[in-house]
C-alpha cells in the first residue's frame, strides 16, 4: 500500500494511537501539530508539541508544526466573541473542526500530496453504496462519541478523512498507548475550551477585545428588577450558579436581551420549549430534506437525543418540532439530527 495520510497530532493519547494504527496498516504518514493559540492555553503548549514529537519519533514518522494562529483567531476566536456579544452561546470546537482541522489542514495535506487526514476523534465514516454519499456515524464507545461536533463535515472532507478510533473504546486506546510506551499514555483528556482554560469567558473577551461589558438589570418573568448582572456575556441560558440573586426557589437564566442589557431569571419550568430554528445547515446523509422527517435531535454535546420532526423550511434553514419540551435550547449551539447511529446533519440554533 502506498496511500499517504497526515496525522493531526494534538499531543494527546487519542491522536497518538491513531497514528500508530495507520502506520500498522501500511500508510505512509507524517504527523502535524497545529499551532492555534499562544498565551495561557492548554492546547498548543510546548508540552503538547513535545509529546506529539516524542510519539512521532518513537513511531519513526516525520513530525511538523504548522502555524494557524491567524486563521484560528479569525475563524474561531472572533466568531466566539461575536456570538456571545449577540446574545448566543457559541461552540468553538465545532468552528475549529469546520474551519481549521477539516478545511485548512485538509487543503494543506492535499498540497503536500497526502490524500487523507487522520484524527483521534471517536466517530465512524462509511460510504453508502446505494446513494454514493459518505456517512458520518456514532462511535462504538457511546461515552466518547464525538459525532455531534463533526456534523459540519462536507462530503469531500468525509471522503478524505479517517477516524481509526471509531470502532474502539477509550480503554482499548489507552492499552495500546501503554503497550507502545507512549509518553502521553496516561495523559488526561482536555475538557475546557482550549483558549479559555480557566473558564472565565467574560474575562477573556474583555482582555482580548479591550471592551468592557457593562452591568445591567436582572429581571424576573414579570419584568421586575431583582438584581444586577456583571455583564451579559457572562451568562448563558439555563445557568444557575453565580447569579447573585436570592429567591425563594431555584432560578435560572431564562432569556438574555442584548438591546436592553437585561438578563431574565425564571424557574426551571420557564426553560422548556418545543421548537427551534437552525441556520447554517450541513446535511450529510442526504442532499436535502424533501419532506418532514422524524429524527432524534441533540441541542447540546452531552444531551441524550430527543425525538422530533425536522423540516427544511428554506435552503439554509431547518425548523424542528420536538415531541416533548426541551430544556435550555440555546441560540449559538448546534442542533444535530440522527437516524439511529447515522448523523443526518445539523446547523446552528438561531431561535
Residue count of the chain, please give it.
351
What is the location of CATH 3.40.50.620 in the chain? 4-179
pLDDT for the residue 165: 98
223 is in an annotated binding site: no
How far are the Cα atoms of 134, 222, 280, 286 from residue 320, in angstroms, in the given order?
24, 28, 14, 17
pLDDT for the residue 1: 46
Burial class (CB within 10 angstroms; exposed 0-12, middle 13-18, buried 19+) of 204: buried
88 is in an annotated binding site: no
What is the location of CATH 2.30.30.280 in the chain? 214-266
- Taking residues 214-224, report their average pLDDT: 94
Residues involved in catalysis: 96, 194
120 is in an annotated binding site: yes
pLDDT for residue 150 is more than 90:
yes
What's the mean pLDDT when you consider all of the chain? 92
Assign 304 a pLDDT band (cuts: 50, 70, 90). Answer: very high
pLDDT for residue 329 is more than 70:
yes
Task: Identify which of 266, 234, 272, 244 has the alpha carbon closest to the alpha carbon of residue 253.
Answer: 266
Which residue reads 439554509 in cell numbers?
316
How far are the Cα atoms of 33, 61, 194, 278 from residue 66, in angstroms, in the given order?
6, 16, 17, 34
How does pLDDT run across 55-64, given as a tens digit for each residue? Answer: 999 999 999 9
What is the location of CATH 2.40.30.10 in the chain? 271-349
User: Helix (H) and strand (E) counts for the chain?
Assistant: 9, 17
Assign 43 a pLDDT band (cuts: 50, 70, 90). Answer: low
Assign 44 a pLDDT band (cuts: 50, 70, 90). Answer: low
CB 264 within 8 A of CB 253: yes
CA gap 167, 159 in Å, rounded: 18
14 is in an annotated binding site: yes
Protein fold of 4-179: Rossmann fold (3.40.50)
Which residue reads 487519542 in cell numbers?
14
CA gap 114, 106 in Å, rounded: 9
Q: Which CATH superfamily is domain 271-349 in?
A: Translation factors (2.40.30.10)
**DSSP-assigned beta bridge partners for residue 278:** 318, 349
pLDDT for the residue 191: 65
- CATH code for 214-266? 2.30.30.280
Amino acid at each position: 500500500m502506498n496511500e499517504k495520510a497526515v496525522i493531526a497530532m494534538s499531543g494527546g493519547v487519542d491522536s497518538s494511537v491513531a497514528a500508530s494504527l495507520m502506520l500498522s496498516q501500511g500508510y505512509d504518514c507524517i504527523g502535524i501539530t497545529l499551532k492555534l493559540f499562544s498565551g495561557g492555553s492548554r492546547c498548543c503548549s510546548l508540552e503538547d508539541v513535545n509529546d506529539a514529537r516524542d510519539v512521532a519519533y518513537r513511531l519513526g514518522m516525520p513530525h511538523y508544526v504548522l502555524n494557524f494562529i491567524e486563521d484560528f483567531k479569525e475563524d474561531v476566536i472572533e466568531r466566539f466573541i461575536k456570538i456571545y456579544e449577540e446574545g448566543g452561546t457559541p461552540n468553538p470546537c465545532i468552528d475549529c473542526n469546520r474551519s481549521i482541522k477539516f478545511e485548512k489542514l485538509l487543503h494543506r495535506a492535499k498540497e503536500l500530496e497526502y490524500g487523507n487526514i487522520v484524527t483521534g476523534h471517536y466517530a465512524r465514516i462509511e460510504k453508502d453504496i446505494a446513494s454514493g454519499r459518505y456517512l458520518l456515524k456514532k462511535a462504538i464507545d457511546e461515552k466518547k462519541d464525538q459525532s455531534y461536533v463533526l456534523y459540519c463535515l462536507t462530503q469531500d472532507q468525509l471522503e478524505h478523512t479517517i477516524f481509526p478510533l471509531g470502532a474502539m473504546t477509550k480503554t482499548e486506546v489507552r492499552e495500546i498507548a501503554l503497550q507502545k510506551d507512549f509518553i502521553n499514555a496516561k495523559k488526561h483528556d482536555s475538557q475546557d475550551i482550549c483558549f479559555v482554560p480557566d473558564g472565565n469567558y467574560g474575562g477573556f473577551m474583555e482582555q482580548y477585545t479591550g471592551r468592557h461589558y457593562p452591568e445591567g438589570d436582572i429581571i424576573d418573568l414579570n419584568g421586575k428588577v431583582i438584581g444586577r448582572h456583571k455583564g451579559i456575556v457572562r451568562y448563558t441560558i439555563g445557568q444557575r450558579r453565580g447569579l447573585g440573586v436570592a429567591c425563594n426557589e431555584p432560578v435560572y437564566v431564562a432569556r438574555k436581551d442584548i438591546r436592553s442589557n437585561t438578563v431574565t431569571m425564571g424557574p426551571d419550568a420557564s426553560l422548556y420549549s418545543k421548537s427551534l430554528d437552525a441556520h447554517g445547515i450541513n446535511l450529510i446523509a442526504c442532499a436535502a430534506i424533501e419532506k418532514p422527517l422524524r429524527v432524534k435531535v441533540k441541542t447540546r454535546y452531552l444531551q441524550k437525543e430527543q425525538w422530533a420532526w425536522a423540516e427544511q423550511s428554506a435552503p439554509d434553514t431547518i425548523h424542528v418540532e420536538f415531541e416533548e419540551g426541551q430544556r435550555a435550547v440555546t441560540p449559538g449551539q448546534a442542533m444535530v439530527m440522527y437516524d439511529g447511529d447515522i448523523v443526518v446533519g445539523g446547523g446552528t440554533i438561531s431561535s
